[in-house]
Amino acid sequence: MSELRSAIFLDFDNLLSGLRDGAGPEFALRFAEQPELWLTPLLADRPRRALLRRCYLNPAGALEDGAGSRLRFAEFRWAFMAAGFEVVDCPRLTRLKNAADLRIALDAMEAMLSPLARLDEFILLSTDSDFVPLLQRLRAADRRTRLVAHPEVGRVVRAAADEVIGLDELAGWLGWQPAREAGEAFGAPDAADLLAVVRDILLEAEAPVHVPHLGQMLRNRTGATLRGSDFAGTGSLDALLTAAGGFIRREGPGGGHVWRPEWLDQPPASAEAS
């Protein structure tokens, strides 16, 4: 079997939140502090050289370690550099997300077209469905693609990649084991967990959040959808927002926007873009 020449593109913030919500902060922290634990099995299924390794992160982001401490993503930079990654800072450019997905798409296309060395395989670590066009473009250029994403990733995303590795499998490389006797599954949060994720998303926001954007971010972080979870068991979006902390929805196109109560007296200048 010939040796594959591979490139790895890691959307750090996205993968870390997926692991945190699916397996817990202990395994998310292990992913960030010891990348060799998951990188070795990721590359070991066949002969390959990972010629290009890039990790895209927001240095100002933070992870709750489960013991009350918040660890800045910048603290994990050296672990990834020690594993051979180039770390690319992607601070927030919009109010809710950084530009990692756009940077990855541009860099992957540049790498594919580079005359310096032909890359046979592109490995993307992200649960973001925005990468479907990139995956399709790489396939059309006769490149093999591997996607590490949430185990419940949609059929359209799954069909765009040659191989999909679930975050549950990656978490297993880190030592996570599902409590099968309790019916526990990766990324299948209960209602309280979903409420907590919705609360986190809205507290991180700096402007009102478009309802479809809220649903997409919930899906990216947990694998659950607003309607599919019956709005975290509350029965309606408004009931969910009330239970999550008294957030308020204002009507508008696409379901409107969600506001934090403190914005009602001094509303932000503009709503979060759809």
pLDDT tens track of the chain, all 274 residues?
689 999 999 999 999 988 988 888 899 999 999 999 999 999 999 999 999 999 999 998 888 876 778 899 999 999 999 999 999 998 876 555 667 888 999 999 999 999 888 999 999 999 887 899 999 999 999 999 999 998 877 788 889 999 999 999 999 999 998 765 444 567 656 677 788 888 888 888 888 999 999 988 887 777 677 887 778 888 888 888 998 888 999 988 888 999 998 887 765 555 554 4
pTM above 0.85, yes or no: no
- Burial status of residue 1 (CB atoms within 10 A of its CB: 0-12, 13-18, 19 or more): exposed
Domain boundary among 173, 207, 228: 173
Domain of 165?
4-173
The answer to whether residue 274 sits within a structural domain is: no
Residues 25 and 109 in one domain: yes
Residue 232 sits at φ, ψ, to 5 deg, of 55, 35
Residues 103 and 76 in one domain: yes
Using alpha carbons, list the distances in angstroms from residue 226 to 28, 200, 206, 247, 250.
24, 15, 21, 15, 17
- Least Cα distance to 194 among 224, 170, 217, 150 occurs for 224
Residues 229 and 147 in one domain: no
Domain boundary among 115, 144, 173: 173
